[in-house]
Structure 1
Amino acid sequence: MRSDPLPWRRQGRAAFTTLLGAFALSACTTTIVESPAAPAAPAAVPAPSVPMGQQWLYGSAEGAISVRQTYSQLTAYALAKAKARPADSVIIDETTGKPFACGDKPLAAVFDADETLIWNIGPMRWFALTGKEFDAKTWDQWEKTGTGKAVAMPGALEAMAALRAAGITPIANTNRSAVNAAGSEQTLAAAGLGAFKHGETLFLMGDDATGSSKDQRRATIAARWCVIAMAGDQLGDFRNGFNKPEQPPLARRTLATAAPYDGLWGNGWFLFANPVYGPSIRGGYDDIFPAETHWEPQQ
């Protein structure tokens, strides 16, 4: 037999055939490579629950009815007083302790603005969502840009219309900032409450040097007007002396409901409920629950 002069060629062909088969097999085989698992979506953080005070004041039928009743009582009282033409204002002169005389001054009724003429639902919702009771920077923005978002309190529109028709001018005395006077004028007007003009029928914190105390502003108003009714949601809307921080809650209550102030509530002074904020929202167990009232169930 003739020997093959090129044995390496046969070996090469065999090796090539083997390699080609392996390549074909690999081409027919699908390799599955698992992708890393996608990160799980973060769990949704539930919104904080609405504070109970806001639920009652801004959402409940009871809150709306309470406000409307107070406005109805105020309106009836003011209209009756306008016919009788009182000798004295319901604003007390803090220097003498006596009411300002009316003389022949035009008739007026004085209102706080926030939670008295309007409900500030916009920022109160934001404070609740962010877990804040109050933030001065946020409130400053609200005073400037909240036009159209505040709502007139139940009965307020009807009361303003009735007072004006009877010749009684509504005046707002509020601790909104004088720097933001234009925003407050626009907010009250957009809520349907009519025109309030800074320096004439709108008085603001910063109008004098006494800060958040409204006593001097009340004196300024009483010098121009015969005020026959006054309304607010805080005792400081009637007299700043009720808001001394050293007074425990029950002592403060005793002061505000004793003579000579006891006869003014519902009789010239009209208080709107506000369980959301202000000096009334304070006190510990010993402040609120006198020792003689303590009780515990038997085990």
Structure 2
Amino acid sequence: MKQILSLAFVALLAACQTAPVDTPIADSPIPVPQAESAPDAPQPIPGQQWLYGSAEASVAMRQAWAGIAGFVEAKAASGPSHGVVLAPGSMPEQPSFLACEGKPLAAVFDADETLIWNLGSMGYFTRAGIGFDPGIWDDWERTGAGKAVPVPGALAGLDRIRAAGVTVIVNTNRAAVNAAGSVDTLREAGIGDFTHGETLFLQGDAPDGSGKDGRRAMIAGNYCVVALVGDQLGDIADPFNDKSLSVAERRALTEAPSVAGLWGNGWFVLPNPVYGPSIRGGFDDVFPPETHWEPTPQAEAEVIN
């Protein structure tokens, strides 16, 4: 949650969403204007509109959660021999996983934009016209209970996972000093009751800062982790967040044959177009040069005229 779109980028996206379109086309990639608001009314950026407001996002989340629950149920019934947390020192290119050795089963989840949507804080940032502010976020962690909502499908999915005898564990980059507030927030959102250091792991519980591998190792010491779920690749394994990786290299790492079969099969990533390491890349990263195209002169002339 600590990385949010810069204010300049937010402004750019907001400007894009209000650009006039003469002839809306079904399924067009061009933003279509919505009902007009007062000129000074705060406007959510397109990523927020999609994630927090759209029927499409609700369907995508419910589909994903149904798949997660079904996978965990099947694993619980089959008695897995290995978990899905990378063993210490293991890398995605050559992964190895710890044996379960009779440990109880667990599924490990990120919190923000995985179990809960932080509508209270995100709405405040938008109303105030500011980007991410660490002081305000710290206050949100402590006092936001009741203003976050469960991600669509999460409650039903968690019910199925718990009914299968699998422990639900949260591993989030919320601060350990704000543990009580995060416990309250998860409870008020209906996610459940969690105990810091047992079923709730926070930044500060291990010495690797915002990295989660240390905390995952702590969890895997007591549980056979059959599923890792988050909205960022760092919720799966820290090497995916190596800052030296280019956009293309990071994507290629997820497609390596050694781990490609784990996505949807123990490793699950939920969509988040609002913030995080995925919101990066220059023009040629997003639109590779080999895909560049120009309309015919006649078509271009018609648009100009």
Q: Residue deviations 1:251-287, cap 9 Å, x none? A: 1111112122211000011110000000000111022
Task: Specify the alignment match of 1:48 in structure 2.
Answer: 42
Cα distance in 1 for partners of 2:210, 2:242 equals 13
Task: Specify the alignment match of 1:106 in structure 2.
Answer: 104
Cα distance in 2 for partners of 1:108, 1:117 equals 16
1:297 aligns with 2:295: yes
User: 1:88 Cα deviation (Å)?
Assistant: 0.3
Q: Residue deviations 1:46-97, cap 9 Å, x none? A: 1232100000000000001101111000000100110100000011113144
Task: Specify the alignment match of 1:189 in structure 2.
Answer: 187
Task: Specify the alignment match of 1:238 in structure 2.
Answer: 236
CA contact (8 A) 1:54 1:275 kept: yes
Task: Specify the alignment match of 1:173 in structure 2.
Answer: 171
From 55, 65, 69, the equivalent of 1:61 is 55
Instruction: State the superposition RMSD in angstroms.
Output: 1.1
Cα distance in 2 for partners of 1:262, 1:290 equals 23
From 125, 128, 153, the equivalent of 1:127 is 125
Q: Residue deviations 1:220-274, cap 9 Å, x none? A: 1011001111100000000111111222212111111212221100001111000
The aligned runs of 1:1-299 (5 Å cut-off) are 46-96=40-90, 97-299=95-297
Using the aligned pairs only, state the percent identity: 56
User: 1:204 Cα deviation (Å)?
Assistant: 0.2
Higher mean alpha-carbon deviation, 168-177 vs 124-133, is at 124-133
Which letter does structure 2 place at the counterpart of 1:215?
Answer: D
**Rg: which structure is higher?**
1
Cα distance in 1 for partners of 2:57, 2:130 equals 23
Higher mean alpha-carbon deviation, 46-55 vs 107-116, is at 46-55
Cα distance in 2 for partners of 1:190, 1:255 equals 37
Q: Residue deviations 1:133-160, cap 9 Å, x none? A: 3110010000000001100111111111
Which letter does structure 1 place at the counterpart of 2:208?
Answer: T
CA contact (8 A) 1:250 1:288 kept: no
Q: Residue deviations 1:187-230, cap 9 Å, x none? A: 00111111111000000000011100000100110110011111
Could you tell me which runs of 5 or more consecutive residues in structure 2 were left unpaired when the two chains were aligned: 1-37, 298-305
User: 1:128 Cα deviation (Å)?
Assistant: 1.7
Q: TM-score, normalized by length of structure 2?
A: 0.82
Which letter does structure 2 place at the counterpart of 1:60?
Answer: S
Could you tell me which runs of 5 or more consecutive residues in structure 1 were left unpaired when the two chains were aligned: 1-43
Task: Specify the alignment match of 1:30 in structure 2.
Answer: none
Higher mean alpha-carbon deviation, 124-133 vs 140-149, is at 124-133
User: 1:125 Cα deviation (Å)?
Assistant: 1.1
Which letter does structure 1 place at the counterpart of 2:177?
Answer: V
Task: Specify the alignment match of 1:10 in structure 2.
Answer: none
Q: TM-score, normalized by length of structure 1?
A: 0.84
Cα distance in 2 for partners of 1:61, 1:134 equals 26
